[in-house]
Amino acid sequence: MVKRKSCIFISGSGTNLKALIKSSKNYNFPIDISFVITNNKNANGLQFAKLHKIPFKTFNLNNYREKEKALNQLRKKKIKLICLAGYMKILPKDFIQKFNGKIINIHPSLLPKFKGLNTFEKVLIKKEKKTGCTVHFVTDKLDDGKIILKKFFYIDKEDNIQSLKKKTQKLEYNAFSEAIIKVMK
Ligand code: GAR
């Protein structure tokens, strides 16, 4: 199978990146991870890029010159899909337009519920019965593009922010790979 080249954007621990790298090693998985971009040069998740010898770079995409450099690299590397995996910055509008329909994001709630930050707190305050994660296309409206898939679990009485995060992230690792298979078909 000819795999298409992808770039993963991260800001923090990069456990979704780790899961995607694992999926990408599968012969039938539709993408290769050719590049990792971060806004945070100290992101822990960069260890996974280093371990698997995936090139990575830190860019501040709000800076015009750095944005142009990032776009050049993405073009040069023939990147066909960008996956935001815990990327905690809002992408510039013109950047999104240049990759229209080719950027997907994972969000730790059942969208359209609980867009933005502090999702687990919001879920608990609202006494939700269930929660989960959503993979969606990125548009210039925050956490708003067409939904590719969602996965959910029922919340226990004992759940707190930490346990919700743990359960949600466990679902995310499969959800992201499944969503990629769905969009690259
Ligand atoms: C993930 O849970 C992801 O859903 C969330 O950040 C976490 C990153 O974890 N993303 C957002 O909240 C974006 N709005 P990771 O760095 O270990 O993959």
What confidence tens digit (pLDDT) does each residue in 77-118 have? 999 999 999 999 999 999 999 999 999 999 999 999 999 999
Confidence label for 24 from pLDDT (cuts 50, 70 and 90): very high
Name the 3-class secondary structure at 82.
strand
C-alpha separations of 61 from 5, 25, 37, 89, 115 in Å: 21, 29, 10, 9, 22
Residue 131: CB within 6 Å of ligand 1? no
Which one, of 101, 89, 88, 105, lies nearest residue 175 by Cα?
105
Assess whether 107 carries a catalytic annotation: yes
Which atom of ligand 1 is found nearest the CA of 17? 18
Per-residue pLDDT reduced to its tens digit, 107-129? 999 999 999 999 999 999 999 99
- 107, 136, 151, 167: the catalytic one is 107
CA of 66 to the centre of ligand 1 (A): 24
DSSP code of 51? H
What pLDDT shows up at residue 1? 78
What pLDDT shows up at residue 161? 98
Which one, of 30, 35, 32, 29, lies nearest residue 7 by Cα?
35
CA of 67 to the centre of ligand 1 (A): 22
What pLDDT shows up at residue 185? 83
Pair 142, 90: CB distance under 8 Å: yes
Which atom of ligand 1 is found nearest the CA of 44? 16
Per-residue pLDDT reduced to its tens digit, 32-62? 999 999 999 999 999 999 999 999 999 999 9
Residue 132: CB within 6 Å of ligand 1? no
pLDDT over 90 (residue 152): yes
Return the HEC string of 113-180: CCCCCCHHHHHHHCCCCEEEEEEEECCCCCCCCCEEEEEEEECCCCCCHHHHHHHHHHHHHHHHHHHH
pLDDT over 90 (residue 22): yes
